[in-house]
DNA sequence: TGGTAAGCGGAATCGGACGTCCGATTCCGG
DNA sequence: CCGGAATCGGACGTCCGATTCCGCTTACCA
C-alpha cells in the first residue's frame, strides 16, 4: 500500500516532471488512435507501443485500462461540446444547426469506432462531469427551443426525445450502413411539425 | 484429422442417438438464455452448466463458440420471419403492420441482449441462409409497397431505407432508453408522406 | 555537479476463457 | 442380455491480454 500516484483524472493534478508530462500526452494520443480503430478491444500493449513507451508508463498515468478509456471518452465529450458551442449555437438557422449536430455525430462515428459508446455515456449521463452534462443539455435545449420558435420542429419534442436519435444514428453508422445520411434524413423528417398528427403525446 | 462430427448446422444432419438429441436441445436452450442475458460475452462453461451438461458435450454439438452463436442467431432470425409471415403480412392495415414489425424489434431487444446483433447480421446479410434473407426482403418489400399504395408511406422509400431503422431502434433499446416507443414514433413519422418535402431523393 | 525522488521499460505474473482429450457411461441392434 | 460404437463430463492445456514489480535512468534542485 502507500500508493496513490497522482489521481490522474483528466486534469493533471500536481505538476509532473517534464518527461512525464510529455509521455502522458503521447499515451493519450496513442490511446485515442487505438480506441478509434478498435473500440474497447484496443490493447494496452499496443497503446504503449504506439506511444513509444513501456506498458509500465501507461499504467503509471492510468491505473487501469478503464480509466484510460474514460479519459478518452471525456476528451471526445469535450470535442462534441466544442462543436455545439462554436458551430451549432451560433448558427442563425436553428434547424440547420440541429441537422448539423446530428450529422456531426455520424461523421465522428465514421472516424472513431468508440464514438457510439461516448454518445451513449453522454446521453445516459453515467458517471460524468455533471457540469459537462448540464451544458450539453442546455445547449441542446436552446437549439431545440429556437427551432420550435421558428416552427421548424414539432412543439412536443424535448431534449429527452432528441438524445436517442444520436444513439441510433451512431449505431447505424457503426453497422456500416453506407448511406446513413439517408437514414438521418428520415429522422429529421420525423422531427418536423406533423400535419395530420400534431401531438403524438404519449 | 479424420474428424468431421455431424456438420451440426441447425438442421440436424443424420439421426442422433436419443440422448444426444436431447442434450442438443438442452444446450440450445441454455445458450439461448445465456446469449440473451450476456450477448457475445456468454461463456461456454456457463452454458454447459445451465444445460446440466459437460463442456465436452457442448463442443461435440457445436465445435466452437461462434458456431453456437450462429445457431442462436439463425433461430432468432426464423422467429422474426415467423412474426412477419403470420402477423405482419396478413395485417389488413399495412401501416399498422409496419409499425408492429418495428415494435416487435424493440420488444425482442428488451428481452434479448443479443438481438441487435442478429438484426445487424440480417440487414447486412452476412453469411446467412440466402433463402431466409431473400424472404425477409420480400416480406418487407411487400408490406412497404402496400403501405405506399394506400398512401401511408412516402413513395421514395425502399427496403434499404427501412432496414437501418431496425438497427437504430435495437440499439436505442439496448442503450436503456426507457421510452423507446417515443423514439419509434419519431421514426414512423419520418416515414409518412412528407407534405412540404415530397421527394428527398438523394 | 551530486543526490535523489520521480519516472521509465518490459519481463514476469496473473487470471480467465476457449477448446482438447480420454476414461467412464449410455444407447441400441442382434 | 451383450458388445461396442456413440456420447458424456470435466480436468487440463493453451493462449492472450491486463496488471505488477523492480532494477535502471533521468530531470531537477541546492
**Residues in A touching B197 (Cβ below 8 Å):** 189, 192
**Taking 50 as the threshold, does the pLDDT of residue B40 lie above it?**
yes
On whether the CB atoms of residues A75 and A36 are closer than 8 A, the answer is no
Predicted pLDDT at B196? 65
DSSP assignment of B23-35, as one string?
HHHHHHHHHHHHH
- Which of strand C's nucleotides are less than 7 A from any protein C-beta? 6-12, 17-22, 26-28
**Distance in angstroms: CA A167, C1' C29:** 61
* Rounded-to-integer distance, Cα A102 and Cα A172, Å: 12
DSSP assignment of A123-160, as one string?
HHTTT--HHHHHHHHHHHHHHHHHHHHTTSS-TT--HH
Shortest distance, CA A71 to any CA of chain B (angstroms): 21
On whether the CB atoms of residues A50 and A28 are closer than 8 A, the answer is no
B7 vs A72, B13, B63, B64, B133, CA distance in Å?
Answer: 44, 7, 9, 12, 22
**Residues in B touching A180 (Cβ below 8 Å):** 164
pLDDT-based confidence at B7, cuts 50/70/90?
Answer: very low
**pTM for the whole thing?**
0.90
| pLDDT, tens digit only, all 202 positions of chain A | 333 344 444 455 567 889 999 999 999 999 999 999 999 999 999 999 999 999 999 999 999 999 999 999 999 999 999 999 999 999 999 999 999 999 999 999 999 999 999 999 888 877 678 889 999 999 999 999 999 999 999 999 999 999 999 999 999 999 999 999 999 999 999 999 987 655 443 4
Those of residues 86-125 in A touching chain B at CB distance below 8 A are: 116, 120, 123-124
* Rounded-to-integer distance, Cα B118 and Cα B125, Å: 10
* Rounded-to-integer distance, Cα A165 and Cα B168, Å: 8
Half-sphere exposure of A51 (CA within 13 A, CB side): 28
**Residues in B touching A124 (Cβ below 8 Å):** 175-176
* Rounded-to-integer distance, Cα B8 and Cα B71, Å: 9
Average pLDDT value for chain B: 90
What are the backbone angles phi and psi of residue B3, rounded to the nearest 5°?
A: -110, 120
Query: Percent of chain B, pLDDT > 70?
Result: 89
Beta-carbon contacts of A99 under 8 Å, excluding residues fewer than 6 positions away, are A184, A188
Neighbours of A86 (CB within 10 A): 9
Amino acid at each position: 500500500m502507500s500508493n496513490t500516484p497522482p489521481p490522474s483524472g483528466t486534469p493533471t493534478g500536481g505538476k509532473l516532471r517534464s518527461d512525464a508530462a510529455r509521455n502522458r500526452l503521447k499515451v493519450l494520443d496513442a490511446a485515442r488512435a487505438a480506441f478509434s480503430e478498435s473500440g474497447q478491444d484496443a490493447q494496452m500493449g499496443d497503446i504503449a507501443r504506439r506511444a513509444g513507451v513501456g506498458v509500465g508508463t501507461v499504467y503509471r498515468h492510468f491505473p487501469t485500462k478503464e480509466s484510460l478509456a474514460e479519459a478518452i471518452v471525456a476528451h471526445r465529450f469535450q470535442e462534441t461540446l466544442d462543436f455545439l458551442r462554436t458551430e451549432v449555437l451560433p448558427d442563425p438557422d436553428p434547424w440547420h444547426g440541429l441537422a448539423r449536430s446530428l450529422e456531426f455525430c455520424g461523421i465522428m462515428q465514421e472516424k472513431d469506432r468508440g464514438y457510439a459508446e461516448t454518445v451513449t455515456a453522454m446521453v445516459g449521463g453515467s458517471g460524468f462531469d455533471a457540469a459537462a452534462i448540464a451544458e450539453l443539455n442546455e445547449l441542446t435545449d436552446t437549439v431545440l427551443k429556437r427551432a420550435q420558435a421558428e416552427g421548424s420542429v414539432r412543439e412536443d419534442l424535448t431534449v429527452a426525445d432528441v438524445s436517442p436519435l444520436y444513439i441510433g444514428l451512431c449505431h447505424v453508422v457503426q453497422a456500416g450502413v453506407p448511406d446513413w445520411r439517408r437514414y438521418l434524413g428520415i429522422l429529421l423528417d420525423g422531427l418536423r411539425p406533423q400535419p395530420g398528427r400534431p401531438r403524438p403525446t404519449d
